[in-house]
Structure 1
Amino acid sequence: MATYRTILVGTDGSTSSFGAVTRAASLAAATGATLVLACAYAPMRERERSAAADVLGDLSYKVTGSTPADDALRAAREHAVAAGAGAIELAAEEGDAVDVLVALAGRRGADLVVVGNRGLNTLAGRLLGSVPSGVSQRAGCDVLIVHTTHGR
């Protein structure tokens, strides 16, 4: 059996992604691996940023830049700690989720990338590709796709 030293898991802050975080954290705890929690985000257009500032006022920082990704990572960290992970690192990066996860896995020397299965069983996922499918095709290490959603 492979020994994992660095496990990278993607999260978007959704309940289903926290299932993948919990599984990755359990594996990290069992193997003594470092757990890297990763979240990709898209930059907000200037027009959207202005509209948010008008509506939210002083709280507009909560929806700009990497703040939503940082919030998702903080929540994911709580799940990881609860599942027993010790060494935890956070990474919020701008870009497409597949690109970010594959690049981070390479830069961090990940032995395993963990993602949820959301999108695999949807029509859009089959036609356009999904995060789990893209990561499994492009990552240079093992990929674990965790069953986090219930579909047909």
Structure 2
Amino acid sequence: MQFIVAIDGSEQSERALEYALDLAGATDASVAIVYAVDPAIREYAADAPVASFADAENYLVVEDEADTEARGEYVLDRAREYARERGHDVETELLYGDPVGSVAEFASGRGADCVFVGHRGMTPRYEELVGSVAAGLVERSTVPVTVVR
């Protein structure tokens, strides 16, 4: 069996990883942990800098692709170390593109048995603007998706 765990550094994605590792231990499944870098999200940045804290809630704070990649690698490294501490040798992969599409495609291409994802991501504001990755995966994935609260 092969499990894919989509993470974003949120507490919910950490719970999804923990749950997947528990099941992997019980079923002798392999685990691949993925993080999606979505370069397109940078297009939603404001044209001008945020002028005040009062204006900040009206903007999606974004980072350039290199910073996003670095954060993704950091999150994957932490997840890999957590898995090792729990006795699992996992694979990690930095994906590019829309998280829903890239994770669903990766899982399908790998012939995965299940995708695990946290119920909520990093920020409610992000989900408000681009939608829930968990809901999108449930709709789009060709393999079963387990959403962990």
Between the two proteins, what is the percent identity of the paired residues? 35
1:1-152 mapped onto 2 (5 Å cutoff): 5-43=1-39, 63-64=66-67, 66-86=69-89, 88-118=90-120, 125=127, 129-147=131-149
Larger RCO, structures 1/2 (Cα 8 Å, 6+ apart):
2
So what's the TM-score if we normalise by structure 1?
Answer: 0.71
Structure 2's unaligned 5+ residue stretches are: 46-65
Distance (whole Å) between structure 2 residues aligned to residue 38 and residue 107 of structure 1: 14
RMSD value, Cα:
2.9
The C-alpha deviation readout for 1:43-72, integer Å capped at 9, x for no partner, is: 396xx9xxxxxxxxxxxxxx5362221111
How many residue pairs are counted as aligned between the two chains? 126
Displacement of 1:91 in angstroms is: 0.7
User: TM (normalized to structure 2)?
Assistant: 0.72
Displacement of 1:15 in angstroms is 2.4
Moved over 3 A (4+): 122-129
In structure 2, the partner of 1:51 is none
- Distance in 1, Cα, partners of 2:11 & 2:81: 13
